[in-house]
Structure 1
Amino acid sequence: MTQQRPISRAGCTKVKRALGVQAALEWAFRVEKAQLELPLPKGLTDEGFGFGLEYVLLQRAALGCKIDGGQHKIGSYTHEDAEVIAATVAGIPDSLGGKRMAIRVAELARAGLSPDWMPGAVPRCVPVETKINQHGERATTIVVGTERVLSRGKWRTVEVLACPVTFSPHPQQIEAARRGYDDWWQALGWVRDGLIAGGMLREIEVSAAMPRARPWERTPSSRC
């Protein structure tokens, strides 16, 4: 069955605004200030907490009613499409990070950011500690042993010095940052598919566009 398009007051078909999922999230959380209402922990009841957002949306859909306006925020009003988007984010399954991922998705959207995947980061071998003297900056050394050496006809005991080093940034830091980006990307894909399949948005149409997957993997450019 073909989904009906919203009808404006003038009687003509109203064209939905197409947005990629990241842009839709930023509009909902950053512009419309949508609030993320997460499910209650197991063992708690809804008593004293009011109705959940999902309940409100279902009741609104059953009644077929719509809050007029939404082009400009008035007071504490949040556009109903933004509420639908927030409710979808709140439903991110545990297999994709659950509540923690929902909070991360909302916070990044509210800030207009993507996860930091540490672009251009390359592990470099650097001294663990340095010191500055009259000769400039020097790596700090430690004594790791002693050796007997023959110097000018005499045996002497000399210290064996070494410079402790580390890798900065550590490869595990880079790996964790990029794993976090990939997890976020997977969650956005789930939100996108849910919004498209749900068909509850009235003025926004979520497109198939997604942020770049694994942007640290560059495709080699072809050469003539």
Structure 2
Amino acid sequence: MSFHGKIGRASGTRVKRALGVQAALEWAFRIEKAQLALPPPKDVSEEGFGFGLEYVLLQRAALGCKVDGGQHKTGSYTHPDAEVIAATVAGMPDSRGGIRMAISVAELARTGLIPDWMPGVVPRCVPMETKNNQHGERATTIVVGTDRVKTRGKWRTVEFLACPVTWRPHPEQIASARRGYEDWWQALDWVRDGLIAGGMLREVEVTTAMPKVRPWTR
């Protein structure tokens, strides 16, 4: 998705640009490169002591900074509406995934992506292990039992072989990916409602448009 030109005014009248929440997020984080200002963790002093490494890394990831100290749009202008959008995302409640979801929403918007819900993937029953020999690739078998049978007047021990199988990708992997997409959708829904209800955007109008809630059901 691309955005061209600046949000502007016509004939002295402010013209609002209508964007769905996904497009608004991409404009704020990808085009305007807004910062996701995360609140400090609970019970952390204002001087900054007590920040855990995980929090620091999460904050750097949210700001789009490299761990080695890369800067994020230092000294450049960010549209005030983009800052409002970023602040709204940073306030993601725990019921919608909290800080981790806020970071995910911001980073996906910054890259113009959506969560991978594994489109078109169908679980396949495959051998757990295979081996190669002169005859090519063969499934590995295991002995699951034995029996005594009489052939040509002699008793012989016969092994019963089976090929252990599994599902790849496992259905739970697909289900987990799709739950992740639904969680992201719920987070966007919360951001959309907050931006519309807040009425703080001056030049952007967030519409009710949303991504498909379950694209795999179409």
The TM-score normalised by the length of structure 1 is: 0.78
Amino acid across the alignment from 1:147:
D
CA–CA separation in structure 1 for the residues paired with 2:11 and 2:164? 75
Alignment partner, residue 81 of structure 1: 81
Structure 1 residue ranges without an equivalent (≥5): 1-5, 50-72, 219-224
Alignment partner, residue 182 of structure 1: 182
Amino acid across the alignment from 1:120:
G
Alignment partner, residue 14 of structure 1: 14
1:125-156 residue CA offsets vs partner (Å, 9 max, x unmatched): 11001112222211111122222122222110
Contact kept in structure 2, 1:7 and 1:13, CA below 8 Å: no
Amino acid across the alignment from 2:87:
A
Alignment partner, residue 127 of structure 1: 127
1:152-206 residue CA offsets vs partner (Å, 9 max, x unmatched): 2211012221111001111111111111110100000000011111111122111
Q: Does 1:102 align with 2:102?
A: yes
Alpha-carbon spacing, 1:132–1:7, altered in 2? closer, same or farther (3 Å): closer
Q: Which has the larger radius of gyration?
A: 1
CA–CA separation in structure 1 for the residues paired with 2:84 and 2:77? 14
CA–CA separation in structure 1 for the residues paired with 2:148 and 2:206? 75
What is the Cα deviation at residue 12 of structure 1? 2.2
Amino acid across the alignment from 1:135:
H
Alpha-carbon spacing, 1:200–1:211, altered in 2? closer, same or farther (3 Å): same
What is the Cα deviation at residue 46 of structure 1? 3.5
The TM-score normalised by the length of structure 2 is: 0.80
Alpha-carbon spacing, 1:11–1:110, altered in 2? closer, same or farther (3 Å): same
CA–CA separation in structure 1 for the residues paired with 2:79 and 2:171? 43
Q: Does 1:33 align with 2:33?
A: yes
CA–CA separation in structure 2 for the residues paired with 1:142 and 1:74? 62
Structure 2 residue ranges without an equivalent (≥5): 1-6, 50-72
Moved more, 133-142 or 83-92: 133-142
